[in-house]
Chains A and B, each alone.
Chain A
Amino acid sequence: MTLNTKRRIVALLASLFVISLLVIAYFESAAGH
């Protein structure tokens, strides 16, 4: 696996993680605890 491929995978997974956190945060805020 080349370094560029590794960098792309890290970026993809990090984006997926951040998006899922944002979605959770949105629903948690909407739940209005």
Chain B
Amino acid sequence: MKRIIPVLKNWLLTSAPVPMDLLNEFTSEPVPHHLKRWWFCLGGTPAYLFTIQVMTGILLTFYYVPEPGQAYESVSRITYDIQFGWIIRSIHKWSSHLMIIAVILHVMRTFFTGAYRRPRELNWMFGCGILMCTLIFGFTGYSLVYEQLSYWGATVAGNITQNAPLVGDFLARFMRGGDSIQENTLTRFFIFHIALLPVAITLLLVGHLTLIRLHGVTEFRFEEDKAQPVQHFPFFPNHLLTELIIGMVLACLLTLLVVVFPARMGPPADPFSTPAHIKPEWYFYFTFRWLKLTSLQVGIIGTGLAGGVLLFWPFIDRFLERKFAGKELSVWFGIVGVLLLIVFTVWEALV
């Protein structure tokens, strides 16, 4: 064994002549001291969960049939008949929920620590793109099951999109592949879910990580650290081990969730019977409650505006900082935003 390893190493270095100095430099970026706190490491979590999603998603596509007459049956077969099918589907489902939570928490952490400020505005926008892709992933994935609730959820989402000003009609037709949810819709959702969105999120992640590497991780110092000189620690192995601990905790948590709350099937989609209560998945409760509180047009415009404000927040924040220097208005806006998110989500969950 002792002789084989150097031979293999030599062969590998000859076959793939990667400059080791460059590789060492790339993997040993100094990491700011504040990243020893685990909640600053939430950015790696969605990437890790996304990898799980890709692996389980590929396995699910072996058996899933994106056709209205067979979609529900194929998911049912995965869940109840195929060996290990329920585990793969449950991991895919729970991992998607955890990924959405992780992305939202990462956005909140970035917001409240002001890490989006100049020169990192573009990276914040990439992050917003990743958040948007994650939510659409959740929506299309849920719709693919073709249950009664997911079918009617998609119908409501299509109707809401159709009512958006200017581009609504086009977007709704593009999304559904016609005037209503029909056989083209499932094929489109499937293509969005397994092709367009994975490519989009991968490109955004590459852009996000490249910009992090180019700018370096934001220096952030707590009050108690300010008296001490600026400290750094190496990415490898120190930070990688923290990420690995988080990854392993998530793997154990996922296993627990899968065993205790495995994915099950609701009643199949019935286009001729509207359910008494139509509800989206929990991550759209906020928007759904907001739409219920206002007229449709106001609701849609408000949602679009909120998305726009989030996307362009670094520039809005700079304007506010110039006008009201030192008031830290962004923190107050953030607190109001988070409170609204929690109140609307809980409100919708309870009714």
Contact = CB atoms under 8 A, between A and B. Distances in A.
Nearest to B259: A24
Contacts of A29: 83
Contact of B245 (A6, A25, A33): A6
A28 to B, nearest CB: 6
A17 B238 contact: no
B259 A33 contact: no
Contacts of B82: 33
B251 A13 contact: yes
Contacts, number: 42
Interface string A1-33: 001001101100110110011001100110001
A24 B83 CA distance: 12
A12 to B, nearest CB: 8
Contacts of A20: 252, 255, 259
A6 B248 contact: no
B84 A28 contact: yes
B238 A16 contact: no
A27 B241 CA distance: 32
Interface string B217-257: 00000000000000000000110011011001101100100
B87 A28 contact: yes
Interface of A: 3, 6-7, 9-10, 13-14, 16-17, 20-21, 24-25, 28-29, 33
Given A3-B238, A9-B245, A33-B82, 11 more contacts: A3-B241, A6-B242, A7-B241, A9-B248, A10-B245, A13-B245, A17-B252, A25-B84, A29-B83, A33-B81, A33-B83
Interface of B: 81-85, 87, 237-238, 241-242, 244-245, 248-249, 251-252, 255, 259
9 contacts: A6-B244, A9-B248, A13-B245, A13-B248, A13-B249, A17-B248, A17-B251, A24-B255, A29-B83
